[in-house]
Structure 1
């Protein structure tokens, strides 16, 4: 009779339980990209609505002030005071934090996946917007803080009277305050590059992978960036040139 030994049999002794940690789906690369996409879509929709509202300045002081006061009354009588605006600001703040957090984590993971730098690494061809997304985001964040202190809170505005939104805008971009218009222009142009790259990346992720689809994605991203940037820039330059006064 031939005896065999089972080499797979467990050895006698204490059994140590092992546990494996699973990463939350939202912390995965796919989840982080989804966070970036959702927050980015929210930003674009907000920017379009904000831009359309700003263009009411061309309708005159009464129309613009009526629109500004209407924003404060949204939700009444269900919501008291300016609660809607504060809810919107809170949602935007959360979206900004989520967008920056997801972008930072993805960038750090991409760098960690290639810890050793090549001695002669070939130059990667990329658009200007792709290479400036990080510092562009910082400029946009600083501009948003200044913009809130200027036209929402009023502490940095020459008029500083929240009951006269039209007067605040005209005083803000007056010719003698050209540096404000310059900073505003720099921030909006940076926003345009950010939008162009972000919309293009989103459309590519949605399936525009063919050469024709890539051309369409580039054209659509450029159109969105020009439309939103131009819509925001037309107001300060209209004030600067006297078209809005």
Structure 2
């Protein structure tokens, strides 16, 4: 009988490690992006200057916005790797239990773990919308590349409450995704002792709440008029 062997990266352990590493790359970006968003509270001049600085990172060593395209490429690769690893692992888990029992005992697990897939879909849809809205300006009421601050204020104005609602839904989904994903990443990278797991759970929850708060404070500040 022929024995099928998998390369290390295609093994279950390798795929979990790939999910963990790609997830860490994405989390670092989310953290940096959140801190940048908070500059909106420093006023229009400061926020627009920050947006312009992002376009000039690496100059004069790198021409124009080359760094931004390098960053975007890395992020796209990280997202694709994350989705691919998650999909393969999900298909393998389903194949391992092909028979569906009529009365199967529910698997114990957190709400975040049970909703990882749907949360991932919501986040992906939001990322696509976010790019078309605040990156390309296609769906933004102003869509003025020279006025990032104005784009943000116009985007979350009170007459566009549905944008804030969708943003909130996506960020909450991201929070659940982060809480479970960061804990799973720690386990995949080798931390499986009881005390370490408890600390990892607490850290993952605290980080997810902090990140969500950092992202949600901007649209709600615009919505209630604190940023205008």
Equivalent of residue 157 in structure 1, options 140, 149, 155: 140
2:48 counterpart of 1:39: no
* 1:217 paired to 2:200: yes
Residue in 2 that maps onto 1:6:
none
Supply the RMSD in Å over aligned alpha carbons: 1.6
**How many residues were matched structurally?**
228
What does residue range 17-56 of structure 1 map to in structure 2 within 5 Å? 22-56=5-39
Query: What stretches of structure 2 of length at least 5 have no aligned partner?
Result: none
Q: For the residues of structure 2 that align with 1:139 and 1:19, how far apart are their CA atoms? A: 41
Of 197, 218, 224 in structure 2, the residue corresponding to residue 235 of structure 1 is: 218
Q: CA offset at residue 123 of structure 1?
A: 1.4
- Write the distance in 2 (CA, Å) between the matches of 1:123 and 1:21: 32
Q: Shift of the alpha carbon at 1:109?
A: 0.7
In 1, distance between residues paired with 2:194 and 2:18?
27
How do 1:41-80 residues align onto structure 2 when only pairs under 5 Å count? 41-80=24-63
Contact 2:171 2:212 in 1 (8 A): yes
How far apart are the structure 2 equivalents of 1:38 and 1:90?
Answer: 16
Q: Which residue of 1 aligns with 2:127?
A: 144
TM-score of the pair, normalised by structure 2: 0.95
Look up the match of 1:94. 77
Unpaired runs of 5+ in structure 1? 1-17
Instruction: Tell me which moved more, 209-218 or 195-204.
Output: 209-218
- Measured against aligned partners, the alpha-carbon deviations of 1:14-39 in whole angstroms (never above 9, x if no partner) come to xxxx9866422111111111110110
1:121 aligns with 2:104: yes
- Picking from 153, 162, 179, the partner of 1:170 is 153
CA distance in 2, matches of 1:204, 1:33: 9
Which structure ranks higher in relative contact order (CA pairs < 8 Å, sequence separation ≥ 6)? 2
TM-score normalised by length of structure 1 = 0.89
Q: Is 2:208 aligned against 1:188?
A: no
Partner residue of 1:10? none
